[in-house]
Amino acid sequence: MEHSLTQIPELRSPWRTATLVASAIAAIELVALLVLGVTLLAEPVAQRVTQTAEAKELAATPKRRTAPSAGAAAMPRSRVSVMVLNGNGRTGAAGSTAERTQALGYTIGGVGNAPRTDYTRSVVMYRKGYAPEAQRLAKDLRLKIVGPLDGLEPAELLGAHVAVVVGE
């Protein structure tokens, strides 16, 4: 008599079916865990890789310094101190220009007389580093002549950034 397990269907079938079902469930759980892991980790990992690459690229790129253009004043008008000087000898010329300048939002650092009274045109002069602010002030006052301090010492400005010398 030959008795083999392959010939008895009741002994072979329940174990085989249970094994296949358990393997299928484990495979589905594995796929679900992989999908969940990729979904949760892929975006943060990609962001970190991108940030690292950008940081390396920025470190490798040489930095260029650009000078501010004439229209790009760094300081707001309220922080620019202006010294208004009478350069034409007429009484009240510096005072009226100071009032106009203050009405535009600038801070008046002082009003006085220029060392000379023979200025034929109004001029905006600036201390080193304040050219953009002087350009903006000249534009606001509709003056055409702008330049570095000429005939004035920085100490004479009493801390002001720019000076307006009122001419004829």
Looking up tokens 């106009």, which residue turns up?
A: 100
Domain co-membership, 87 together with 161: yes
CA-to-CA dists, residue 21 to 30, 31, 137, 164, angstroms = 14, 15, 84, 92
Domain co-membership, 83 together with 138: yes
Confidence band, pLDDT 50/70/90 cuts, at residue 39: confident
How many domains in the chain?
2
Report if residue 85 sits inside a domain. Answer: yes
Q: Give the model's pLDDT for residue 60.
A: 57
Name the average pLDDT for the chain: 82
Beta bridge partners of 165: 85, 123
Name residues whose C-beta falls within 8 Å of residue 145's C-beta, 6 or more positions apart in sequence. 121, 122, 123, 124, 138
Categorise residue 41: left if φ over 0, alpha if ψ from -120 to 50, beta otherwise. Answer: alpha
Domain co-membership, 44 together with 87: no
Chain CA centroid to CA 21, Å: 62
Q: Give the model's pLDDT for residue 116.
A: 85
The β-bridge relationship of strands 107-113 and 146-148 is unpaired
> Mean pLDDT, to the nearest integer, of 136-153?
88
Q: Give the model's pLDDT for residue 83.
A: 92
Domain co-membership, 46 together with 122: no
Domain co-membership, 29 together with 95: no
Domain co-membership, 17 together with 97: no
Report if residue 72 sits inside a domain. Answer: no
**Residue 46's domain spans which residues?**
5-60
Confidence band, pLDDT 50/70/90 cuts, at residue 24: very high
φ, ψ for residue 57 (rounded to 5)?
Answer: -65, -40
CA-to-CA dists, residue 91 to 73, 142, 165, 168, angstroms = 32, 21, 14, 12
Report if residue 66 sits inside a domain. Answer: no
**Is pLDDT above 90 for 139?**
yes
pLDDT tens digits for range 64-104: 444 444 457 788 998 999 999 999 889 999 999 999 999 99
Q: Which of 17-31, 52-66, 91-105, 126-140 has the lowest mean pLDDT?
A: 52-66
**Is pLDDT above 50 for 132?**
yes
